[in-house]
């Protein structure tokens, strides 16, 4: 049975969600991004976001990544169609496999971002993402995580509760909406702190983290 988050063929839900949230995320990024530098996207999926943002930041080099190498052709196709010279070829980063993570000797980033990842993964993802940020973010860099979250054990909307249950039932009990406080706790163990918690449309949040 096809799930609402299938990536190939790209489910109409993921496609719709990406198109709906591109502009609200872009508005936040316009406030936060430095004028030039390097940005790493974790779990890029189809590449829809990175290729949408890239033309707005001509002096930022964008590095897409995913654990699923089958997605790379889709990311490359989107990059070619958008003629984005500042989007690099995708790299393989599996957040569950530290041996695939970037290390600071090869590259450091001004920005790391992940969109709609945390609800489709176990909480251990928070450890991985913040550990990578601690490892490869520049001193003044930031980590931005976008998606639906619970806050202090509460859902932001009744529809989030139904979505949470649906994700867990269709996939694994460890999936579903994470609590911002749990993500923050994982970040703190790696010297990364929550600096902004922005409420965006459709009950989603942008969590911004920086170094202590
Ligand atoms: C719901 S999709 C979101 C994709 C894209 N960011 C978006 O918003 O359209 C979740 C993405 O997380 C990726 N993903 C899941 N587990 C991962 C892991 N362990 N390491 C890296 N990527 C992972 C999937 O391959 C998929 O691209």
Domains of the chain and any CATH numbers: 19-211 (3.40.50.150)
> What are the Cα distances from residue 9, in Å, to 5, 47, 91, 153?
10, 14, 21, 34
pTM reported for the whole predicted model: 0.95
- Per-residue pLDDT reduced to its tens digit, 42-83: 999 999 999 999 999 999 999 999 999 999 999 999 999 999
Overall average pLDDT of the 100-106 stretch: 92
Contacts of 148 (CB under 8 A, 6+ apart): 119, 156, 160, 163, 177, 203, 204, 205
Contacts of 165 (CB under 8 A, 6+ apart): 176
Give the atom of ligand 1 at the shortest distance from the alpha carbon of 114. 6
Please tell me the predicted confidence (pLDDT) of residue 24: 97
Pocket flag, ligand 1, residue 194 (CB < 6 Å): no
Give the atom of ligand 1 at the shortest distance from the alpha carbon of 96. 19
For residues 146 and 136, what is the distance between their CA atoms, to the nearest angstrom? 19
Please tell me the predicted confidence (pLDDT) of residue 76: 97
Is 56 in contact with 30 (CB distance < 8 Å)? yes
Q: How far is the CA of 28 from the centre of ligand 1 (A)?
A: 21
The residue whose C-alpha atom lies closest to atom 5 belonging to ligand 1 is 45
Pocket flag, ligand 1, residue 95 (CB < 6 Å): yes
């Amino acid at each position: 049975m096809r799930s609402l988050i299938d990536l190939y063929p790209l489910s109409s839900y993921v496609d719709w969600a990406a198109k709906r949230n591109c502009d609200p995320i872009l508005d936040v990024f316009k406030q936060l991004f430095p004028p030039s530098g390097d940005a790493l996207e974790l779990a890029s999926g189809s590449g829809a976001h990175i290729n949408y943002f890239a033309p707005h930041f001509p002096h930022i080099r964008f590095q897409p990544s995913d654990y699923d190498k089958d997605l790379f052709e889709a990311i490359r196709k989107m990059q070619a169609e958008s003629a984005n010279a500042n989007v690099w070829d995708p790299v393989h980063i599996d957040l569950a496999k530290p041996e695939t993570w970037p290390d600071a000797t090869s590259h450091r980033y001004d920005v790391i971002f992940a969109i709609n990842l945390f609800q489709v993964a176990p909480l251990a993802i928070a450890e991985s993402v913040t550990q990578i940020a601690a490892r490869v973010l520049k001193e003044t860099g930031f980590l931005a995580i976008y998606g639906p979250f619970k806050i202090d054990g509460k859902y932001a909307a009744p529809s989030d509760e139904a979505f949470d249950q649906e994700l867990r039932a269709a996939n694994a009990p460890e999936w579903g909406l994470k609590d911002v406080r749990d993500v923050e706790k994982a970040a703190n163990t790696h010297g990364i702190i929550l600096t902004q918690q922005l409420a965006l449309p459709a009950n989603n949040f942008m969590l911004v983290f920086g170094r202590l």
